[in-house]
Amino acid sequence: MFRLSESNEGAGVHLAAPNLPLTASRWLALAAAPSFALMTGLSAYGAGGDMICSAQGGSMLGGMVPMYLLMSLFHCGPWLKLLARQEHGARALG
pLDDT of residue 59: 58
What Rg do the C-alpha atoms of the chain give, in angstroms? Answer: 22
Greater pLDDT, 31 or 62: 31
Q: What is the pLDDT of residues 6-46, one digit of tens each?
A: 444 555 555 566 788 888 888 999 999 999 999 988 888 87
pLDDT over 80 at 85, yes or no: yes
CB-based contact 40:47 (threshold 8 Å): no
Other CB atoms within a 10 A radius of the CB of residue 15 amount to 10
Rounded CA-CA distance 72/14 in Å is 39
Q: Which helix (H) or strand (E) holds 12?
A: none
pLDDT of residue 91: 63
pLDDT of residue 56: 53
Rounded CA-CA distance 31/38 in Å is 11
